[in-house]
Chain A
């Protein structure tokens, strides 16, 4: 049942609170563009306290020692963006990374990576027993994808392969 709301919490998230009028109208139009489709579903096989969890952030985070995301792709052709992804080890901290997303104020994430990619918080939850393990590897790509073909064709399979190799049970996708 698409759009089912769990529970009777008082809070209903306003999707448009932080958008200006023009962007709000655009996003409301984009909501209408999604064609009906089968929603993928994998039941959680065990309690989350027994799961290995990985994080995928769309903030375009890369290790300083890794290849930067190519912002020139988007500057040359504003309908496109770098479709690649980067792998970040579980012990990654803010000082290890740069954030390349061109549609957000990245200064918050540059001060504290956990704003968009909560790797330290996930390790805390491991220590507290909320989850079994933070996975060895976590992932980031650039979330501006007007043309998603290359991302879906070239990047997503690589992420899935590594998630399977590392026997990850659950993934938290963090939008920005």
Chain B
């Protein structure tokens, strides 16, 4: 879904698709699309012969198909960063605060 980010962590094979989050295979009930996406993904698995390669699957998302991709409640980290914006650089740089080890009494 985000091939640039996926490839940046070194996955061996990447079948990229331009679908909204939470709808990786397609809309609920759209069995034909889901089947086609899975079949194309498995074909990519066979085709890719170079580590780190990406196949861009040729599925188009209909722009008129409006879907709400957001959860009903903002994720805890989003709410936390709104309240504590000075922590945003830690999130941006993926350097979360260290977890304090339980102290031995």
Q: Which residues of A contact B (CB under 8 A)?
A: 1-7, 9-18, 26-34, 37-42, 44, 47-48, 53, 59, 74-75, 78-80, 102-106, 108-109, 111-112, 114-116, 118, 120-122, 124-125, 130-131, 144, 146-147, 170, 172-176
Contact = CB atoms under 8 A, between A and B. Distances in A.
Nearest to A23: B78
A75 to B, nearest CB: 5
Contacts, number: 209
B75 A144 contact: yes
A7 to B, nearest CB: 7
B71 A30 contact: no
**Majority secondary structure, A binding face:** loop
A31 B24 CA distance: 20
29 contacts: A1-B52, A2-B7, A3-B53, A5-B54, A6-B44, A7-B55, A11-B60, A13-B17, A13-B57, A15-B1, A17-B61, A27-B5, A30-B8, A33-B8, A39-B52, A74-B75, A74-B76, A80-B99, A105-B21, A105-B70, A105-B72, A106-B22, A115-B22, A115-B27, A144-B77, A146-B77, A172-B42, A174-B25, A175-B24
Nearest to A29: B92
Query: Which 7 pairs between the two chains have the least Cβ-Cβ distance?
Result: A34-B8, A112-B28, A2-B52, A78-B76, A111-B28, A104-B22, A39-B51
B68 interface: yes
B42 A11 contact: no
Given A3-B52, A4-B50, A41-B12, A146 B94 contact: yes
Nearest to A114: B34
Among B11, B56, B76, max chain A CB count under 10 A is at B76
Contact of A147 (B8, B29, B31, B96): B96
